[in-house]
């Protein structure tokens, strides 16, 4: 039989080894937790940086739009106004054959002036915010109808919920991007927009009846990336659905912020 000293030595060695293993396991777990925490913090910092960068880019774009709006309204608008006034002064002094052509030219200049001013309003975010989201969408769609680009329809469902300035501008710019793509590429005859205010979120849907496209082949399209990027800034989900000869649809779902939550 083992002597008492040997038993104690074995017991002591076993306890020491188990303690060492225990401390190694604890150290490894702590190390992994610390490593995971650092990785999560790094990931969150990168996401925050990307979001701040995207917001800065949008702010620059908005300032650019505002400058263009001012140029359209103050400079080009003024030039068209002067041209319209001069035509108005010349027409009464002109003989009949030329008079009709000048009157037609004056009408074209007047219509152009109206469209320039309308366009300048939708480019200026201050005007958009003053008018509100619904009115701004209606102005844009009415402009398309007036210019006979395509037929439009705008509907609102549910009880309107107040949105922040940032959300209103971003939703409107996303729709503008879609409208622009529709006019340039879709050959659509109809454009439909619907806003649905639900209990916890706002769903924005826009759809055209154009030629559509294979969405899997244009995942890197700059317009699509712009819309997705803007949606992510306000925490909204964004989906684009399109099939060849079946039109294109976008759907944005913006969850209302929950105030007072931790």
Q: Is the pLDDT of residue 261 over 50?
A: no
The per-residue pLDDT for 56 is 63
> Do the Cβ atoms of 252 and 171 come closer than 8 Å?
yes
113-144 per-position pLDDT tens digit: 777 777 777 777 787 888 899 999 998 899 88
Top-confidence residue, 104 or 5: 104
Angstrom distance (rounded) from CA 191 to CA 141: 9
Dihedral sign computed on CA atoms, order 196, 202, 208, 213: negative
- 27's enclosing H/E stretch is helix 4-70
pLDDT band for position 172 (50/70/90)? very high
Dihedral sign computed on CA atoms, order 213, 214, 216, 217: negative
178-210 per-position pLDDT tens digit: 998 898 888 999 999 999 999 999 999 999 999
Top-confidence residue, 242 or 2: 242
Percent of all residues in the chain with a pLDDT value above 90, rounded to a whole number:
30
Angstrom distance (rounded) from CA 158 to CA 122: 25
| Mean pLDDT (whole number) for 144-160 | 91
Q: Is the pLDDT of residue 32 over 60?
A: yes
pLDDT band for position 3 (50/70/90)? low
Q: Is the pLDDT of residue 260 over 60?
A: no
The per-residue pLDDT for 97 is 74
For the ranges 48-62, 193-207, 226-240, the lowest mean pLDDT is seen at 48-62
Statement: the pTM of the whole predicted model exceeds 0.75? no
Top-confidence residue, 86 or 242: 242
Short-list 58, 65, 77, 260, CA closest to 167: 58
For 116, how many CA atoms within 13 A lie in the half-sphere containing its CB?
Answer: 19
> Do the Cβ atoms of 159 and 195 come closer than 8 Å?
no
The per-residue pLDDT for 194 is 97
Angstrom distance (rounded) from CA 160 to CA 156: 8
Q: Which residues contact 183 (CB under 8 A, 6 or more apart)?
A: 144, 149, 150
Q: How many helices (H) and strands (E) does the chain have?
A: 7, 5
Strands ordered across the beta sheet of 190-197: 151-157, 190-197, 201-208, 248-255, 237-242
Short-list 160, 161, 157, 167, CA closest to 128: 167
| Mean pLDDT (whole number) for 80-100 | 76
The residues that bridge with 192 in the sheet, in sequence order, are 153, 207
Short-list 243, 187, 240, CA closest to 213: 243
The residues that bridge with 197 in the sheet, in sequence order, are 202
> Do the Cβ atoms of 152 and 202 come closer than 8 Å?
no
């Amino acid at each position: 039989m083992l002597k008492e000293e040997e038993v104690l030595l074995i017991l002591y060695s076993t306890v020491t080894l188990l303690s060492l293993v225990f401390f190694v396991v604890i150290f490894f777990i702590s190390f992994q937790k610390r490593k995971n925490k650092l990785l999560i913090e790094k990931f969150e910092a990168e996401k925050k940086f990307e979001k701040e960068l995207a917001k800065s880019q949008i702010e620059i774009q908005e300032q650019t739009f505002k400058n263009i709006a001012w140029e359209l309204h103050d400079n080009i608008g003024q030039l068209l106004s002067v041209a319209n006034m001069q035509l108005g002064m010349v027409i009464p002094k002109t003989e009949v054959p030329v008079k009709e052509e000048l009157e037609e030219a004056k009408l074209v200049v007047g219509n152009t002036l109206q469209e320039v001013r309308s366009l300048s309003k939708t480019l200026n975010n201050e005007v958009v915010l003053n008018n509100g989201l619904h009115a701004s969408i209606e102005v844009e769609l009415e402009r398309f109808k007036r210019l006979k680009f395509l037929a439009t329809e705008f509907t609102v469902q549910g009880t309107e919920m107040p949105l922040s300035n940032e959300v209103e501008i971003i939703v409107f710019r996303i729709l503008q991007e879609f409208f622009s793509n529709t006019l340039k590429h879709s050959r659509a005859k109809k454009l439909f927009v619907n806003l649905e205010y639900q209990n916890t979120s706002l769903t924005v849907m826009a759809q055209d009846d154009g030629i559509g496209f294979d969405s899997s082949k244009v995942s890197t399209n700059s317009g699509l990336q712009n819309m997705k990027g803007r949606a992510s800034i306000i925490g909204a989900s964004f989906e684009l659905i399109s099939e060849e000869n079946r039109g294109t649809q976008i759907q944005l779902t913006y969850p209302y912020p929950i105030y007072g939550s931790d």
